[in-house]
Amino acid sequence: MSDIDEKIARFGPQRFVNSVFDRVASRYDLMNDLMSGGVHRLWKDAAINWLAPSPVKSSLLLDVAGGTGDMSRKFLNSAAPGSRAIICDIGASMMEEGKRRLSAASLAHGVEFVQGNAESLPVKTSAVHFYTIAFGIRNVPSIQAALNEAFRVLKPGGRFLCLEFSRVSVPVLDSLYERYSEHVVPVLGRIVAGDAEPYRYLVESIRKFPPQQAFAGMIQDAGFTQVKFRNLTGGIAAMHSGIKA
């Protein structure tokens, strides 16, 4: 058992994850930069492009684990006037960072912040047109419970979209990325952010996350139809989509 696993067992998975993100809230983009080599910004653009909100009909997005507001900001910049976003995050410090950023981008008026758990969302049934979760679902203790909740809160015809680090499918790139993640990312985290442990945890959480086909099966088990996934950068990340019929 690794040191990270021992701490998760001692404190409980949700409490440990909360502590990780409390420590890195102001440096969250830096964290994703280190994990992805900076490409996460392009991946988020690709996710919103695939989500394709209508430019003429307003819609409501639920952005789960979206505390710092990246996905909501990109959504509101692409969606029709009058569209809104609800950011639901379990971490208060992450949401404070999101409020600051969205205020700076003059988008705070279109966003509601709600503190809550992805496994038990404080959102009414069949309430939203879109559900997104970017680099968050692997940190949820019960991934299936989170997927079931995503299905519950979406309107019929609503769209689920998850962006997450995944399994590299390109030979040679897989071993290079494994070495980078294991040996380079925690060192960079300690040098740049002053704390290596959150980055070690994130590397381990990626390893434990289901591969693309298995995760697609879990989305189907939650009730979604038209389940598809698209690999990004050789599978370093993947987008998964589903429709609530």
Q: What is the pLDDT along the chain (245 residues), one digit of tens a residue?
A: 556 566 555 545 567 666 666 666 667 677 677 777 779 889 999 999 999 999 999 999 999 999 889 999 999 999 999 999 999 998 888 888 889 888 888 888 889 999 999 999 999 999 999 999 999 999 898 999 999 999 999 999 999 999 999 999 999 999 998 898 888 888 877 777 677 777 788 888 899 999 999 999 999 999 999 999 999 999 999 999 999 99
Task: Flag whether 127 is in a domain.
Answer: yes
Q: Answer yes or no: is 191 within a domain.
A: no
Rounded CA-CA distance 137/194 in Å is 25
Q: Strand 128-134 relative to strand 60-64: parallel, antiparallel, unpaired?
A: parallel
Here the CATH number for the domain that contains residue 126 is 3.40.50.150
In a domain, 174, yes or no: no
Amino acid 33 reads D
**What's 56's DSSP letter?**
S
Range of the domain at 10: 3-28+37-166+210-243
Report the candidate in 7, 35, 18 with the shortest Cα–Cα distance to residue 193.
35
CA 2 vs CA 9, 33, 79, 116, 223: distances in Å: 11, 25, 44, 29, 35
Place of tokens 């280190």: 34
Cβ atoms within 10 A of the Cβ of 38, count?
12
Q: Is 189 part of any domain?
A: no
Predicted pLDDT of residue 11: 46
CA distance 53 to 239: 16
- Which DSSP state fits 210? P
Q: Give CA–CA dist 105/43, Å, rounded.
A: 20
What confidence score (pLDDT) does residue 67 get? 85
Residue 177 belongs to a domain: no
The pLDDT value recorded for residue 38 is: 79
The answer to the question of residue 217 being in a domain is yes
In-domain check, residue 218: yes
Q: Indicate the number of domains in the chain.
A: 1
Residue 139 maps to a domain? yes
